[in-house]
Structures are given as C-alpha cells and as structure tokens.
Amino acid sequence: MKLIKVVGFLFQFGLIGLALAVIYMIAVSDKSQSDMLAFLSSPGQATRSPQRTSLSPVYSYADAVSSSSASVVTIYTSRTVRHEPHPLLDDPIFNQIFGDQLKRRQRSNSETNLGSGVIIGSEGYILTNQHVVDGADEILILLADGRGSQAVLIGQDKDTDIAILQVPISELTGFKIAQLPPLKVGDVVLAIGNPLNVGQTVTMGIVSATGRNRIGLNTFENFIQTDAAINLGNSGGALVNANGELIGINTAILSQSVGAQGIGFAIPISMALDIMDQIIEFGEVTRGWLGVEGTEITTQAALATGNPTIRGALIVGVFIDSPADMAGIRTGDIVVAVDAVPVQSIRDLLNQITLRKPGEQVEISIYRGARPLTLTMPVSLRPQ
C-alpha cells in the first residue's frame, strides 16, 4: 500500500515538474507558442532544422557588360605587300631571256590584321593599339550593332603603342571613363574585344599588378597587369571595372614561348587619353628630354655615396649639348629626385621627365660620390 502511495506521489511530482519545464521553455524560447505546441504534439518526431526557401545571391556582371559592350568595336586592317624584284633581273643576259617570265611572277599580296578598339565620346574617335593599324592601307570598323565604316587614322604614338582613329558615324555610344577611387590589386576587371574573330567576347579576371614596366613592349610602360584572358584580336579593346567603366586599353599577353598564362597587360586609360588629347590638338605627342642614359645603381656606385641602400638612376651617358650636358651632369652621377619627387630607377626618371613640357625648368637632385648637388635645367623636346 505504501508502495502505491509512493509511486503516485512520484508520478504527480513528475507531472508538475514537466508542466513547469514546458512553461519555462515557452517563456525563454525564441520560437512562437504555436511552434512549441506543434513540437509537443509530436514528441516522437526528431527535431529538424527549418527548410531554406531562398538561395544565396548570385553575383553577375551583366549590367557592367551591357553598359559598355556597345562602345567596343572590331578593327579590320589590310595592307599590300610587294615583293622585291628577282635579283637575276639585274643581269642583262638573264633578263633578256627570262625577264618577261620573272616579271609576271613578281606578285604583291594583301595582309590582313584583326584588333579591337574603344569609342571615346560621340565625335567618332576610337582608341586602339598602334600595332593594330601599323602600315595599314585600309582600316574598317565594325560596331557592336552591326554598322560598319572605313576609318581615318588621326595619329599614332609608337612609344606607347596608342593610335587614334575616327569614323563618320553618328549616334555613337562613348565609354564612361573610370574616375576615383584608384585601381587596386585584386579589383575585378573585364576584358572586352573580338579575340580570334569569334565575335565580341567578355573575359573576367582581377588586377594582378599596377605600374608594370621593363616588360620590353613599349618605350614608355606603365601597364595594368591582369589575368583576364587577352588573345589575338583583343588588342586595343577595353578593360573595364565591375561598374562597366573604362580603366585601360588591352595591349598584349606575355609571350607564350615561355609557357606563360594569365599574364596580360593593358595601358591605363589616363595615359591613353593624354596621348589622344595631344594627338588631336597638336598632331603629335610632345615629351620632355634631358639627354641622359642611365641604368640601375651598381653596388660600387652606391657605396661611393656612403648609402648602400640609395635609390635612383645611375647616369652612364650624357648627350653632347643636351640640357643635362649644359647643366653639368656627368657620367657616374646618381639622380635621386626631380623637383623633390624621389626617383626610384632609370625608368622612373624617364617617365617623370617625359611628362614635362619642353622649356619647363626642373631641379635635378644628384649625388656625385658622397656629395649631394642640385642642378637646374630646362627640359627640351625629346627627339623622335
């Protein structure tokens, strides 16, 4: 009898404890009461996580492409290549016997080239690479909407591989030029052009590096490096950011002979537009010149200054009667700054001076051995 009373007491106590536990769970749980009741109504079912009804967002660059693709054109060029006369035609006897046959065999053939270009503004100007139109007798432009036209070469600059074309077509869509913030390594970029003449194509990558030089492609180099695929036919096409704004002109890939992949180069749009403005306004590009030849600083030259970590350009040659010669720069001097702006290398010195206008005065800070000197000289026009 006592056992029955004890069991009954424990059963009542258990029910009270369970009720208190349920009340507590409802009070502190972030679930709704209906969810809790549903849970309690099916105690034999295992607890399951709620089903997700929406997917994670999918990132797309369709808007960037649609806003910029109409401003990218395909460029077809052709030129006539004439073969040299057969050397035996200079022989009078041979010429008399076989001259007619050899002259008939003197043929000329037409070479074609493919590239891309970008529309700048609504006046028909097109930016492209100089090597795309080099030596062309005829230049044809095909727009993304199917319209086509012959183009006129306005000017070109081999030192930066930039050429300016113009087409007599109305209602052109010019590119929106990227402004601030500045380009950073890791930014997403899109390359738009007509590689291998398969049609307008978009490839994606990131900015691998900025300010690349000493590549050996141009005299003046300040490339954007990217792993976005750039193939034959992409030259002169657009490199745009994730907003569809123009940031560069696709130029080249590193030679495949060394097995390189994913190493492409583009000319920054700021540099290309500066060349374009000068060509349109003056018909040519004017650059500053000091008249020096330089190289990287040798260990011996650095030790002579008393600063083994010195940065700058070691002068190894000075042109006679050049601004540098007249100002007193000598072979063996180390140029460390231009107008107080540090010089990191001979390439840096070249780039700083070429941006100066002919006739502009500059202060060149040098080390001659351990002695610092500052020389003032005018910048002259760089010889072609």
Active site residues: 131, 161, 235
Query: Is the sign of the CA dihedral 293, 299, 300, 303 positive or negative?
Result: positive
Angle, CA of 37, 43 and 47, to the nearest 5°:
85
Please give the Cα distance from 228 to 239 (Å, whole number).
9
The strand pairing partners of 81, in sequence order, are 109
Q: Count other C-beta atoms under 10 Å from residue 163's C-beta.
A: 29
Token pair, residue 67, equals 């806003």
Please give the Cα distance from 310 to 372 (Å, whole number).
12
CB 237 within 8 A of CB 72: yes
Token pair, residue 134, equals 């080099």
Determine the residue type at 102. Answer: L
Calculate the CA 289 to chain-centre distance.
Answer: 26
Please give the Cα distance from 170 to 272 (Å, whole number).
23
Q: Count other C-beta atoms under 10 Å from residue 234's C-beta.
A: 29
Q: Which residues contact 164 (CB under 8 A, 6 or more apart)?
A: 125, 126, 127, 153, 154, 155, 156, 275, 276, 279, 280
CB 362 within 8 A of CB 371: no
Burial 43-61 (b: 16+ CB within 10 A, else e): eeeeeeeeeeeeeeeeeeb
Beta strands in 299-360 (DSSP E): 313-318, 334-338, 341-342
- The SS3 call for residue 199 is coil
Please give the Cα distance from 63 to 221 (Å, whole number).
31
Please give the Cα distance from 211 to 230 (Å, whole number).
18
Calculate the CA 280 to chain-centre distance.
Answer: 23
